Amino acid sequence: MAEVALRNVVKRYDDVVAVSNVNLDIPNQEFVVLVGPSGCGKSTTLRMIAGLEEITGGEISIGGEVVNDLPPKDRDIAMVFQNYALYPHMTVAENMSFGLKLRKFPKEEIKARVDNAARILDISELLERRPKQLSGGQRQRVAMGRAIVRNPKVFLFDEPLSNLDAKLRVQMRTEIKRVHQQVKTTTVYVTHDQVEAMTLADRVVVMNGGKIEQIGSPNDLYHHPRTRFVAGFIGSPAMNFIPAKLEANGSGLRLRLSDRLSFVVPEARTTRYRGYVGKDVIFGLRPEHITETRGANGGAGQEFSTALDVVEPMGMETMVFFRIGGTEVCGRVEPTAAKGAGETMQLRANLDHMHLIDPATNAVL
């Protein structure tokens, strides 16, 4: 177990900068998730930590030792791949023990470690099978087992659940979290799925365009995004973004969304936003903060009525879609309170959770 540190790490392919000046400190035993859209540089960053990609600039250290020029085998890391990468001609036990055999561990220790990992992952009955005789979930467990037996300083996961179906993905997500709680090895996990990132991580690193947008705990990123990208990427359904103008309203502030609709900015926020009066801003509000007016969600908030475009029942909640000044907006309401498409519905926006974004810099104000 060890800490991982990235200092000004750069990866360039000819003229294309894949990863630009990434700085990241991962303390011992932490579970860090790198999340972002395709091509954001998260996998490249992971592969640089693994030693599978050379770094163009900067410094990577594992356990205090700079590993820039060390081959993967000398970095004491273990990696779980998206397509499992199990050796097809070996049994599960052979797959798991391959790394230990190459490192010339005594037979008894290899057996003990394989048995222990198999017990942790509940694959003891599968040890004599070959990968093609296993289901996707079982293969993923074996891939994790191969990582666990090595007892490495760092676990690296490269989108390990992407090949699984939705139900199995949720199961394996819990499994990975459970395993980490047991073995407590420092873990770097790459995914494009923000739900995976939120549920698994001690800290989430949101990447975009080869740069780190924000690092923080899942709750921190969700409630206090620093950029429009993070605000939009974290959370499902995504945060609503509506072009608006900030107006003075006596001693307070008013946010004008359209000719017919404006909201009073909560008092607690007026000082923060006062400098932006008269300027165009982007108003961000999550769907769960646009609710029906009755019931438990009643309370703080400002009411407005709107004609619904689309209604999507989800069972425990219903998504309602409507337009404000040409922008489509999503709200989350109680199934029993939802009206049908085309009908007018009274909704309540809770501006205590609002965000304002500067359209010029895309920074959350």
Partner 1 sequence: MSAVTTVATAPARPATARASLKRGRRWALFASYFFLILFAIFFLTPPYYMIITSFKTDAEMAHMATNPWFIFNGVTLDQYKLLLFGTDFLIFFKNTIIVTVCVVCTTMVVSVLAAFSLSRMRFWGSTVLATGIFLTYLIPDTLLFIPMFQIVKSIGLLNSYWGMVLVYPTLTVPFCTWIMIGYFQSIPKELDEAALIDGAGYLQMLTKIFIPVALPGIIAAMIFAFTVSWAAFVYPMAFLYSADQQVLTVGTVTSLIKADVYKWGMLMAGALLAAAPPLVIYAFLMDYYIAGLTAGATKG
Contacting partner 1 (CB under 8 A), which of 57, 99, 209, 237?
99
Contacting partner 1 (CB under 8 A), which of 14, 38, 102, 336?
102
Contacting partner 1 (CB under 8 A), which of 43, 44, 45, 82?
82
The nearer residue to partner 1, 47 or 289, going by C-beta atoms, is 47
CA atoms within 13 A on the CB side of 66: 8
For residue 74, the minimal CB distance to partner 1 (Å) is 9
**Distance of alpha carbon 249 from alpha carbon 45, whole angstroms:** 48
For residue 180, the minimal CB distance to partner 1 (Å) is 19
**Distance of alpha carbon 143 from alpha carbon 102, whole angstroms:** 17
> Does 89 contact partner 1 by CB under 8 A?
yes
- Per-residue binding string, partner 1, 55-74, x by CB under 8 A, is ----------------xxx-
Q: Give me 147's structure tokens.
A: 């990582």
Neighbours of 121 (CB within 10 A): 21
**Distance of alpha carbon 354 from alpha carbon 269, whole angstroms:** 9
The nearer residue to partner 1, 129 or 254, going by C-beta atoms, is 129
The nearer residue to partner 1, 86 or 206, going by C-beta atoms, is 86
Helix boundaries (H) for the chain: 42-50, 92-102, 107-121, 136-149, 166-183, 194-200, 218-223, 228-233, 267-273
> Does 52 contact partner 1 by CB under 8 A?
yes
The nearer residue to partner 1, 82 or 291, going by C-beta atoms, is 82
Helix or strand run (H / E) with residue 78:
strand 77-80
Determine the size of the site formed for partner 1 (CB under 8 A): 23
Residue list 17-46, contact with partner 1 (CB under 8 A) = none
> Does 78 contact partner 1 by CB under 8 A?
yes
- Per-residue binding string, partner 1, 132-161, x by CB under 8 A, is --------------x---x-----------
**Is the preceding omega at residue 237 within 30 degrees of 0, hence cis?**
yes
Instruction: Please give the order of strands across the beta sheet that includes 302-313.
Output: 290-292, 344-349, 302-313, 318-324, 327-333
Residue 234 vs residues 58, 95, 174, 194: alpha-carbon distances, Å: 29, 36, 20, 6
Under 8 Å CB-to-CB from 143, ≥6 apart: which residues?
80, 81, 84, 85, 86, 160
CA angle 25, 31, 33 (to 5 degrees): 80
For residue 51, the minimal CB distance to partner 1 (Å) is 8
Contacting partner 1 (CB under 8 A), which of 65, 66, 87, 280?
87
The nearer residue to partner 1, 73 or 260, going by C-beta atoms, is 73
Contact criterion met (CB below 8 Å) for 11 and 166: no
For residue 103, the minimal CB distance to partner 1 (Å) is 5
The nearer residue to partner 1, 13 or 87, going by C-beta atoms, is 87
For residue 85, the minimal CB distance to partner 1 (Å) is 4
Bridging pattern class, strands 318-324 and 302-313:
antiparallel
Contacting partner 1 (CB under 8 A), which of 81, 252, 254, 341?
81
Residue list 194-253, contact with partner 1 (CB under 8 A) = none
Give CB contacts under 8 A, 24+ apart, made by 259-263: 261/304, 261/324, 261/325, 263/302, 263/349, 263/351
Contacting partner 1 (CB under 8 A), which of 17, 85, 238, 319?
85
The nearer residue to partner 1, 160 or 216, going by C-beta atoms, is 160
Query: Contact residues for partner 1 (CB under 8 A)?
Result: 50-52, 71-73, 77-79, 81-83, 85-89, 98-99, 102-103, 146, 150
